[in-house]
Structure 1
Amino acid sequence: MSRRRPHVSFGTVVSHLGVIVAVSVVLGVLTAGLAVPLVGALGAGAKATSASMNNLPEELKADPLAERTRVLDADGDLVATFYDENRVNVPLEKVSPVMRRAIVAIEDYRFFQHGALDLKGTARAFVNNQTASGSTQGGSSITQQMAKMTLVTQATTDEERAAATENTYQRKIQELRHAIAFEENYSKTWILERYLNLAYFGDGAYGVQAAARHYFSVPASKLNIKQAATLAGLVKNPVGFDPTRFPERAEARRNVVLARMAELDVIPQERADTLSDRELGLKVSRTRNGCLGTSAPFFCDYVRRYLLEDPALGRTQQDRAQLLNAGGLTIKTTLDLDYQRSADEATSEAVDPTDTAIGGLAMVQPGTGEVRAVSQSRPMGREKGKGQTYLNYVVDSKYGDSNGFQAGSTFKVFVLAAALEQGLPLSTSFNSPEKISIPQSDFMSCEGSYPVTTPWEPGNSTTSGRKDMTTGTRESVNTFYAQLERRTGLCEPYALAKAMGVDLADPDRERVPSFTLGIADVSPLEMASAYATFAARGIHCDARPVSQILNAEGEVFKDYPSRCQRVMKESTADAVNQILRGVLEPGGFGQALALTVPSAGKTGTINGNMAVWFAGYTPTMATAAMIAGADQDGNWVSLNGQVVGGSYVYSAAGSTLAGPMWADAMRGVQEELPYEDFTSPSFGDAPVTVPVEDVSGMREKRALDTLSGQGFQVSIGDPRDGEGRRGTVAATEPAAGTQLERGTTVTLYPSR
């Protein structure tokens, strides 16, 4: 049974037009260029409406539109995008003329003739809404629509969003008031430009530029008639007309737009008829949001977390995330996709995703700290059955999801370098038996003798006998290094490792006699950064994945220059390089891993064979490779007895498991590496000094840890008068800022 539509009298229409006129008069629209003719007298309803209008804000601030952020590799190629709304703002002159004409034709054909309100369209909508049982019809001008879009986009709460879209006359009046302000303060071209950048075109595409790229893989400036008509038709109902889901609806809507354009003489009727018979011609380009599925997912994840820790991007992490997702930034990274591909091929070849093991690898450029690649054997994703994970195991805990892995004998180089810094000759030798017992009190810490008196009893897993620095290192003799560390003390090797980029933060657990055997938890990225210091002849540069950020206007927002400092003498680094290159030469443990360019490296294996390492480098590239036993829940297990990369592991070793992964990654890029040789050591260069940090006002324990972390021996003097509370530090001697060699004694004076 059909329902008859109620009869709408002329008086009803006039009554509603009277409301519009009342609103117009209250808002001063007659003088604002709306040119609304007076129809009917002001009624009580109109007066009530005008009274309520006084409580509504007139002007609506047009905040900058949210734009997606692009992440680029070192060559400027797109790696990833971050966004809440997939939008790229473009000026109106970069939108094809036919697109501009199409949107005006279908949404507001008299846009350039009327003011904020199109009386004809609004009257039609009022009549329809009176007879349509509460459902509202369009009729809003482009300016009114833009005002509504602005309210919705800038809403920060659910209540504000609901108020911006509710079906009430008050909401329509509010839009009108804002529209009038926009018309008074901005040009028509500005309004149309903002409208085209604000509008949602469906399937996640916000703004005409993103829509053009998404649906047709062209910029907005290159849209043709058929494409423009398709996009213009989407604005009315971007979900219902979504051409990727409802192509027939989208095509019918496009034809409506083409017919309207012909009716208004925007295009010839014959052209409209011809185009109406054609298919949509979509060429969809998906824009990924975030790191998943990109060419370097865990590098991308590292970049995002690195920037979320940067106060320059906002006061809080929430502020920084908002800027990354909506600021339209261009993030230039240090990623080299050739290196990334080589790293990925190496890790995937060495360890299968579902193995009870995980492989990780990081590549850092010496002399700049630029991170070229980070890779792990478990791909990014949520399907545990396929070995996927969102946990980043390759970078240090500040930017990743792992506390790290013990690095074994790769830590011996820190004791070696400290010994050379202290002036011990390469000929320094010890009888290094298979097992040795040393009272731990023999080891000097930063505060004096190590307080633990029980003996430390390390043993060898390689060779034994009399060893010097060269043979003791190349053969990785534990009992030699136990005795060398007793000679150097614990303070300076620990401080040197920190200065070289190893994130050591728990001296009570880490700065112990077994430090030289790599009992501290570290990441592949930290070790690559540390070994890059030797390659750069004693210059350490902080690892960094970002080189520069541009704002939405393409101007420099922030530069991330190399942060480098000399942490050891050139002769020390040269001597370490000379020793470690022997590991990859005939007779060395890693001779099968040699490259076509000069290279050096060190193996590492931890107790129980739960992790194996190979950290190696050329003068221009440092790479650390690690394979650790770990089930799919992240619980650590021994690698012995596991099948890793399709091969059964009887006894895991750095040279036979992690080493080949390192070699595969480096060989994949060795043709790109310049042929540079290491410099032969020549001793006699000036010692390296570091400035005494200002610890005045700190608690005594924190001050002691700070100075000992710099490698100074620390003693406690008698209390002095000072401004600080009792228990804090009043002064140091030598004073803060004084340049001293590591191992020098600094005295703390507590405050009375």
Structure 2
Amino acid sequence: MSRTRFDGLPPRKVASHLGVMLLVSVVLGVVVSGLAIPFAGVAGFTSRNLAESVDDLPQELETEQLPQRTEIKDRSGKTIATLYDQNRVNVPLRQISRTMVQAIVAIEDYRFYQHGALDLKGTMRALLTNQAADGVVQGGSSITQQLVKLTLLNQADTDAERKAAIDDTYARKLRELRYAIALEKRHSKDWILERYLNTAYFGDGAYGVQAAAQHYFNVNAKDLDLRQSALLAGLVKSPEAYNPRKNRAQARVRRDVVLDRMAQLSVVTQEQADRVKARKLGLDLQSKPNGCVNSQAQFFCDYVVRWLKTDKSLGATAEERERMIFSGGLTVRTTIDMRFQKAAQDSVNAQVFKDDQAVGALALIEPGTGNVRGLAQSRPMGTKKNQGQTFLNYTVPKEYGDANGFQAGSTFKAFVLAAAIDQGIPLNTRIPSPSPKSFRLADFQTCDGPYQSSEIWSPKNSTGEGTFDLYTGTRQSINTFFVQLEQNLEGGVCQPWQLARRLGVQIGKEAMVPSFTLGINDVSPLEMAEAYATFAARGVHCAARPVMRIEDADGNVLKKYDKHCTQELPGPVADAVNDVLRGVVEPGGFGQALNPGQPAAGKTGTVNENKSVWFVGYTPNLAGAAVVAGANREGTQITLDGQSIGGYTRYTTAGSTTAGPIWGGAFGPIAQWLPDEDFTRPSGQDIRGLLMTVPQVGGRSYEDAAAELKGMGFNVASNGTVDSSYAQGLVAYSAPGAGEQQAAGDTITLYISDGSPKPERKRRQRDNNNNDDRGNGGGRGNGNGGRGGD
């Protein structure tokens, strides 16, 4: 030690230096796993105490997967949202520029590849410098030790664990060194450096060198040049103090320190360093907005996140699933078409303003696949109610959006129409339909027998009276016509109620009421679009699907979400429904002004007191449900009458004139991207005569059952194994089931037995669920029905 080092110091300080040097000599004699243990802050301990303390520490550091950002992409692969707890994208060392590696090693630990877990020279230098300054002015930790600290901090779950990871204590330093020793034994230097560069925080929300390169310079880590590398390498010491977005002058000073250090170590020449020091920072700041609120498809993004949170394959608990979604580095490939989304959002915004005392919404879904193509609503995502913002997603069922939905009005007449056609009621059946007409509620049948009520119900028509058939009664949406049609059905309201549930409308038994045909409460646009898409797909119902697959950070497919489709209506029945409903958007129909220039069909809906109005329409390859509903900023439903909606005071509202323009305004532009297809016209023969009875196939081999069904003209599909008392490998049951009526070309799905029958308790629970497996009771039925008509 040079004598001049102590010149001018008081005797007490000199004695302190000598004491520390003596302590260093003692501690350096203690070797654990072949390396000296740290010596800062160990005054009062003997070498034996230190050795025993180190031996008591854990010998391995579990390096969990680093949190990485998740990207949600549209159907074409374009990112529509990023989700993260930490904005990070891991990259291998080979994809980090050599210049960046040299810069970080030069400034943080230039002897990294020469020493072990502890750099004795660096630690000694830091110790003496800090002791002389009577404070911490220089760090002596190796990159490996820094990685341990970052790892412990990153993996801390509690405030206590986070505090322990950064405490400047003897215990923390001992633990840090022991873990560093273990890392050096277990991993190569390149692995440690790669992990360090991916773990380090570079300020301004950027974790890891790849995210930092993208954020500050809009380049990938492999393309970082000397100027960029020096700036990033300088940030890790104090990311916010040197934040170049907020503190450019300090960031430049720190960058130049790195450049001079690289020149001192002959990594670059002094001439190169000086040339770069003369240049500006060269920032090209790029933000990576976090969360759905920053997405161009806010509520579709929110729907995707909440939909994935229900998938238990992503984690056993809700917390694990959320961590996977926000920190798993996933690529979520969705079904949204941003062309359709923009058209939908533009149309909604044009018809209903965000601060109106009404909400407008539109859901788009593809028939035959269930792919959700777009979700738009008038109120943007956010917390500022005075600016029309909300976190309620009005486009989807309550479980995915927290909104209660709306009364669906006469759009439910389509389920009664389909049930009537399925039961063989001819399309030319004529029914006198006066207004009003009185009905005894006890005369209506439900799945459980007669409706239990002694009341008399007298619905009215808002669109005229007379005698109508299925075509004209539907085109003019005659309430008393449909109430009688429902009453005349075998089983009354039972089959329409069952059909609505099978087509995706989540209703319970409380919705099985005589006024069912005039609309039920608490229905979302996505449910109605999904149901009507079944008609477009010739009776094939496909559950709404917002995600096709998810991939991990390495591009491996974690899970595919296949479409889930079943034949819920015979093809000819759906064809007849389409033929009737297309009259609504053709000349003479309420929606004739909405025709997008392609074959289309649809149904209007209006509700008592005009609290909501609907238009649900579809082409052969896209279905959409539009709603406008009175809703104040607190979310309470109010009448639309007298409200300013889209810049106009509406003294009266209707499905065709208030909700219909949203549908038409979206489908008009979208039509250019849709295939030119037409609906299949129904046969002139009696529909009942076209149907065949599905045979009993339970207990038979798949080959035998499939052969018979194909011989009858059915298509056959399989849908995995189910619990069944039949022997493993035999058919358990079919859907549609034995005895049901279907047409040639319809698909019969076979379910194969796994040979393990359900326990009796579970069977009873399943049977109960089969009776009521959709709604959860409350708020779905409507004893008075919708206003109907248009």
User: TM-score, normalising length from structure 1?
Assistant: 0.89
Q: Contact between 1:569 and 1:687, CA under 8 Å: does it hold in 2?
A: no
Q: What do the CA deviations read for 1:25-48 (whole angstroms, capped 9, x no partner)?
A: 134327xxx9x9x9xxx9953222
Post-superposition offset of 1:173: 2.0
Secondary structure class of the residue paired with 2:346: helix
Separation in 2, partners of 1:377, 1:415: 31
Which residue of structure 2 aligns with residue 112 of structure 1? Answer: 113
Aligned residue pairs, count = 701
Closer/same/farther in 2, CA of residues 463 and 44 from structure 1, 3 Å limit: closer
Which residue of structure 2 aligns with residue 137 of structure 1? Answer: 138
Q: What do the CA deviations read for 1:271-294 (whole angstroms, capped 9, x no partner)?
A: 100111111111111111110121
Post-superposition offset of 1:128: 3.1
Q: Contact between 1:72 and 1:332, CA under 8 Å: does it hold in 2?
A: yes
Q: Contact between 1:22 and 1:50, CA under 8 Å: does it hold in 2?
A: no
Separation in 2, partners of 1:360, 1:238: 44
Q: Contact between 1:16 and 1:126, CA under 8 Å: does it hold in 2?
A: no
Aligned residue runs from structure 1 range 164-175, under 5 A: 164-175=165-176
Separation in 1, partners of 2:289, 2:693: 48
Q: What do the CA deviations read for 1:624-662 (whole angstroms, capped 9, x no partner)?
A: 000001111111111111110011212110011101111
| 1:29 paired to 2:35 | yes
Q: Contact between 2:17 and 2:131, CA under 8 Å: does it hold in 1?
A: no
Out of 499, 502, 514, the residue aligned to residue 502 of structure 2 is 499
Aligned residue identity for 1:677:
D
Separation in 2, partners of 1:690, 1:564: 21
Closer/same/farther in 2, CA of residues 133 and 723 from structure 1, 3 Å limit: closer
Post-superposition offset of 1:19: 4.8
Secondary structure class of the residue paired with 1:406: coil
Unaligned runs of 5+ in 1: 697-706, 713-721, 737-752
| 1:15 paired to 2:39 | no
Post-superposition offset of 1:723: 9.0
> Which has the higher mean CA deviation after the structures are superposed, 387-396 or 48-57?
48-57
Which residue of structure 2 aligns with residue 635 of structure 1? Answer: 636
Closer/same/farther in 2, CA of residues 724 and 170 from structure 1, 3 Å limit: closer
Separation in 2, partners of 1:125, 1:426: 92
Identity %: 52
Aligned residue identity for 1:18:
S
Which residue of structure 1 aligns with residue 308 of structure 2? Answer: 307
Q: What do the CA deviations read for 1:456-510 (whole angstroms, capped 9, x no partner)?
A: 21110102110111111110000000000001211100000011111113x12x1
Aligned residue identity for 2:344:
A
| 1:373 paired to 2:378 | no
Which residue of structure 2 aligns with residue 102 of structure 1? Answer: 103
Post-superposition offset of 1:8: 6.2
Secondary structure class of the residue paired with 1:612: strand
Which residue of structure 1 aligns with residue 191 of structure 2? Answer: 190
Which residue of structure 1 aligns with residue 289 of structure 2? Answer: 288
Closer/same/farther in 2, CA of residues 151 and 22 from structure 1, 3 Å limit: farther
Aligned residue runs from structure 1 range 451-600, under 5 A: 451-488=452-489, 489-505=492-508, 507-508=509-510, 510-600=511-601
Q: Contact between 1:8 and 1:131, CA under 8 Å: does it hold in 2?
A: no
Aligned residue identity for 2:336:
L
Separation in 2, partners of 1:21, 1:672: 75
Which residue of structure 2 aligns with residue 160 of structure 1? Answer: 161
Post-superposition offset of 1:132: 4.1
Post-superposition offset of 1:689: 6.5
Separation in 1, partners of 2:127, 2:311: 53
Separation in 2, partners of 1:69, 1:511: 43
Separation in 1, partners of 2:145, 2:289: 32
Q: What do the CA deviations read for 1:300-320 (whole angstroms, capped 9, x no partner)?
A: 000000001111111111110
Q: Contact between 1:18 and 1:46, CA under 8 Å: does it hold in 2?
A: no
Separation in 2, partners of 1:723, 1:304: 34
Closer/same/farther in 2, CA of residues 451 and 690 from structure 1, 3 Å limit: farther
Closer/same/farther in 2, CA of residues 527 and 208 from structure 1, 3 Å limit: same
Separation in 1, partners of 2:634, 2:695: 43
Separation in 2, partners of 1:473, 1:599: 15
Q: What do you get for the CA RMSD once the two structures are aligned? A: 2.8
Out of 677, 682, 686, the residue aligned to residue 691 of structure 2 is 686
Separation in 2, partners of 1:203, 1:93: 25
Aligned residue identity for 2:66:
L
Secondary structure class of the residue paired with 1:299: helix
Aligned residue identity for 1:436:
K
Separation in 2, partners of 1:471, 1:286: 57
| 1:662 paired to 2:663 | yes
Aligned residue runs from structure 1 range 595-634, under 5 A: 595-634=596-635
Separation in 1, partners of 2:194, 2:175: 22
Post-superposition offset of 1:560: 0.6
Separation in 2, partners of 1:168, 1:416: 77
Post-superposition offset of 1:22: 4.0
Q: What do the CA deviations read for 1:175-203 (whole angstroms, capped 9, x no partner)?
A: 11111111111111000000000000001
Aligned residue identity for 1:494:
W
Q: Contact between 2:81 and 2:294, CA under 8 Å: does it hold in 1?
A: no
> Which has the higher mean CA deviation after the structures are superposed, 558-567 or 42-51?
42-51
Closer/same/farther in 2, CA of residues 728 and 373 from structure 1, 3 Å limit: closer
Closer/same/farther in 2, CA of residues 19 and 68 from structure 1, 3 Å limit: farther
Which residue of structure 1 aligns with residue 122 of structure 2? Answer: 121
Separation in 2, partners of 1:90, 1:114: 25
Q: Contact between 1:492 and 1:711, CA under 8 Å: does it hold in 2?
A: no
Q: What do the CA deviations read for 1:400-455 (whole angstroms, capped 9, x no partner)?
A: 12111001000000000011111111112210001111111111111211121212
Q: Contact between 2:695 and 2:739, CA under 8 Å: does it hold in 1?
A: no
Secondary structure class of the residue paired with 1:374: strand
Closer/same/farther in 2, CA of residues 478 and 690 from structure 1, 3 Å limit: farther
Separation in 2, partners of 1:400, 1:181: 48
Closer/same/farther in 2, CA of residues 454 and 4 from structure 1, 3 Å limit: farther
Secondary structure class of the residue paired with 2:294: coil
| 1:249 paired to 2:250 | yes
Post-superposition offset of 1:169: 2.5
Q: Contact between 2:693 and 2:739, CA under 8 Å: does it hold in 1?
A: no
Q: What do the CA deviations read for 1:572-628 (whole angstroms, capped 9, x no partner)?
A: 110111111111111111111111111111100000011000000000000100000
Secondary structure class of the residue paired with 2:246: coil
Secondary structure class of the residue paired with 2:364: strand
Separation in 2, partners of 1:448, 1:485: 15
Closer/same/farther in 2, CA of residues 179 and 711 from structure 1, 3 Å limit: farther
> Which has the higher mean CA deviation after the structures are superposed, 42-51 or 583-592?
42-51
Unaligned runs of 5+ in 2: 1-7, 699-720, 725-734, 741-757, 772-790
Closer/same/farther in 2, CA of residues 688 and 475 from structure 1, 3 Å limit: farther
Q: Contact between 1:598 and 1:618, CA under 8 Å: does it hold in 2?
A: yes
Q: What do the CA deviations read for 1:78-119 (whole angstroms, capped 9, x no partner)?
A: 111111111100000000000000000000001111111111
Which residue of structure 2 aligns with residue 73 of structure 1? Answer: 74
Post-superposition offset of 1:353: 0.7
Separation in 2, partners of 1:10, 1:665: 79
Separation in 2, partners of 1:224, 1:61: 34
Separation in 2, partners of 1:131, 1:464: 101
Aligned residue identity for 1:106:
I
Aligned residue identity for 1:477:
I
Separation in 1, partners of 2:114, 2:760: 74
Separation in 1, partners of 2:380, 2:524: 18
Q: Contact between 1:603 and 1:615, CA under 8 Å: does it hold in 2?
A: yes
